[in-house]
Homo-oligomer: A and B are copies of this chain.
Amino acid sequence: MLHLVIADSELELAPKSIVDHPAIVNYAKRRNKKPEEVLLDSTYHHSALKKLEDGERRGRPDIVHVCLLNALESIANKEGKLRVYVHTRNDEVIYIKPETRIPRNYNRFVGLMESLFKNGVVPEGLELLRMEEKSLAELIDEIKPDGVFVMHENGESMKPQEFGKVLAGLQSPLVVVGGFPHGDFRSEIPGKKISLYKAPLMAWTVVNEIIINFEHWVL
């Protein structure tokens, strides 16, 4: 079983310090929500983000959305060989049941994440997604993988197919992919750093390379 963690994801509700900013207030009003209940989104909250630390990388639910669409619809997941987790910049972890069908529409996905932040689980009853306060280190402790790898620009260079073989050689490897647009991990890096390509790649590209190269050796 491959454990894939989208880590330090830029997924959060509008922080308290900017809930009075017009960009947030107007956006919330348009969506009939309270300002403190809307997901931070760089497309709409650009001017408010300028007032925040790390503002140039925050508010990117789109990255999590595309990573999840790819991972959960992969052959590896359909074959029961994959578990996917989202860890956020504020040390929350989202557990996702493998049978979850993530909304295809981005705006519906945003609504779902807002419910999850509010209620801790969605949907009520089925609990396909569940959120807990937890650091990346605590999540890894809990999973007890027999190998931890962190995808990183400055990591050991490895061809994607070689890396897939390494993963397939373990019982329950865990791979960490950064769920942010650029820059470095905020969390301490818990494992061996690996680089699959000479230039930076988008998070979802790395997710695809890992999963499909893992599939080769296990299916």
Contacts and interface: CB of A to CB of B under 8 A. Distances in A.
Contact of A73 (B43, B108, B201, B216): B201
A62 B103 CA distance: 10
A78 interface: yes
Given A106-B62, A106-B107, A107-B107, A70 B215 contact: no
B204 A73 contact: yes
A158 interface: no
Nearest to A105: B43
A196 to B, nearest CB: 8
Say what secondary structure dominates the interface of chain A.
Answer: helix
A108 B62 CA distance: 12
A197 B43 contact: no
A128 interface: no
Nearest to A62: B104
* Most chain B CB atoms below 10 A, which of A60, A62, A75, A78: A75
A156 B55 CA distance: 50
A213 interface: yes
A4 to B, nearest CB: 14
Interface in A141-191: 160-161
Contacts of A41: 105
A29 to B, nearest CB: 13
B74 A43 contact: no
A47 interface: no
Contacts of A202: 69, 73
A105 B104 contact: no
A70 B160 contact: no
A208 B201 contact: no
A62 B78 CA distance: 21
6 contacts: A66-B66, A66-B69, A73-B201, A74-B208, A78-B197, A106-B106
Given A106-B107, A107-B107, A208-B212, 20 more contacts: A43-B107, A43-B108, A62-B105, A62-B106, A63-B104, A66-B69, A70-B208, A73-B201, A73-B205, A74-B205, A74-B208, A75-B196, A75-B201, A78-B197, A106-B106, A160-B212, A160-B216, A208-B208, A212-B212, A212-B213
